[in-house]
Amino acid sequence: MNRKIELTVSLEVVQQKNWSEQDKILIAKATNILESAHAPYSGFLVGAALLLENGAIFAANNQENVSFPVGICAERAVLSYAMANHPDIRPVKIVIVAKRKGESEFATVTPCGLCRQTINEYEVKFNSPIEISMLNPNGEILKASGIEQLLPFRFNNLKG
Ligand code: THU
């Protein structure tokens, strides 16, 4: 019989009445910036807000391109900007929200595979998990304590 390797992952579901003050601020910033996303091809507007250890908050949105693969997601946009400008300050948490163009209700969103691998990169760089919060249409936050919960069996080590 072959041996099995099993990992269990979990997300915490945080109801709106239990949102922390910090969650509220980050969700507001992400919601605000999603309105200026450049998403003429998908009509899917995403905002991401990133909190650094020193309390600084950055926000960005998705930027699409007529050559579709050139587009960049909100999560990678905000991480790239923040880490380019503050390479020594640890990212603590990222909040992601989305809406379809013309709709007022939030859309369900979870980071794509490329963004998961990017979040992993900064966890490794700072040797510390980054909390990932995803807003649901019903006002619940799905919280992952770190990228391990979204990307088990991830690629992490070139040297073996
Ligand atoms: N998108 C993000 O920006 N973040 C996500 O977590 C999911 C997807 C963008 C990429 C593309 O511009 C649009 O949403 C539709 O996939």
Dihedral, 78, 80, 84, 90 alpha carbons, nearest 10: 70
Quick count: other Cβ atoms within 10 Å of Cβ 134?
A: 21
C-alpha closest to that of 80 among 121, 31, 33, 128: 121
Q: 157 CA distance to ligand 1 centroid (A)?
A: 27
Spell out the domain ranges in the chain.
12-149
Q: CATH number of the domain at 12-149, please?
A: 3.40.140.10
Count of residues in the chain? 160
The tens place of each residue's pLDDT in the chain, 160 residues long, gives 999 999 999 999 999 999 999 999 999 999 999 999 999 999 999 999 999 999 999 999 999 999 999 999 999 999 999 999 999 999 999 999 999 999 999 999 999 999 999 999 999 999 999 999 999 999 999 999 999 999 999 998 887 6
Diameter of the chain by CA atoms? Answer: 55
Q: 5 CA distance to ligand 1 centroid (A)?
A: 31
Beta strands across the sheet bearing 131-135: 12-14, 141-144, 131-135, 91-100, 44-52, 57-61
> Which of 36, 62, 114 to probe ligand 1 with, by most ligand atoms within 8 A of CB?
62
pLDDT of residue 160: 64
Reported pTM: 0.96
Whole-angstrom distance, CA of residue 147 vs CA of residue 111: 10
pLDDT of residue 158: 81
Residue type, 12: E
